[in-house]
Amino acid sequence: MKFISWNVNGLRAIVGKGFADIFKALDADFFCIQETKLQEGQIDLSFPGYDSYFSYADRKGYSGTAIFTRHRPLSVSRGIGVDVHDHEGRVTTLEYADFYLVCVYTPNSQNELARLPYRMEWEEAFLAYVHRLDALKPVIICGDLNVAHTEIDLANPKTNRRNAGFTDEERSCLSRLLDSGFADTFRRLNPTAVGAYSWWSYRGRAREKNVGWRIDYFLISERLMPRLKSAEIHASITGSDHCPVEITLE
């Protein structure tokens, strides 16, 4: 099975940049999207053989997640069951016979870390949510986690320390998640890979220079690791400030 995750930075915008062709070329069983930035009824987008499941933010033009899948789920849930966190469309979960698939768009801590306190509350709630799922069956978590985990995961770690996405608090939250029974698929298969990024600023020709961050992930329950066959970052695919990331499971 092939899984793709991509923060498209506006689904309506990327549709005009060849999204349909990219979608078809990647030929995934599950195609997970973050930052759809739309409300129900604002787009008519479907692909033969796929069902789609969207989670919308209350606020127009903001956040949002979606999953296109060839495999009809046993159940669909939106949010994490905590009202204060469930108004931004940040989580879509599909249940299957032998796993849960969680598509997530983690809150950004913003300039001057204005939203870091909220981010920490979110992290606690999200950790509890995936632990509840993992107690029932293995979990696949994918999406824009808005954090570079270690110094190897961004081009300029020293100058970005204490900036949003590379604070000790954010990195520690991801460490807790990984230490609690989840694997960072790309890093497990590529432990020393440098220059492997999934997001680049639009400023300063950052993408051309590959001055980026790896903030888009596939995390899987440790007991799924024997089924992991590959993990890739599609840095050559454009249309967003992020690129798609991929895993294949047996």
Is residue 217 part of the annotated active site? The answer reads no
Of 24, 56, 32, 26, give the one whose Cα is nearest residue 43: 56
Residue corresponding to tokens 């016979």: 97
Q: How far apart are CA 209 and CA 1, in angstroms?
A: 33
Residue 25 near residue 4, CB atoms below 8 Å? no
Is residue 134 part of the annotated active site? The answer reads no
Q: How far apart are CA 25 and CA 86, in angstroms?
A: 33
Residues 6+ positions from 66 with CB-CB distance below 8 Å? 11, 32, 33, 36, 52, 53, 54, 55, 92, 103
Residues 6+ positions from 235 with CB-CB distance below 8 Å? 196, 197, 198, 210, 243
Residue 208 near residue 229, CB atoms below 8 Å? no
Q: Which of 53, 56, 144, 153 is catalytic?
A: 144
Q: Which of 53, 105, 197, 217 is catalytic?
A: 105
So which residues are the catalytic ones? 105, 144
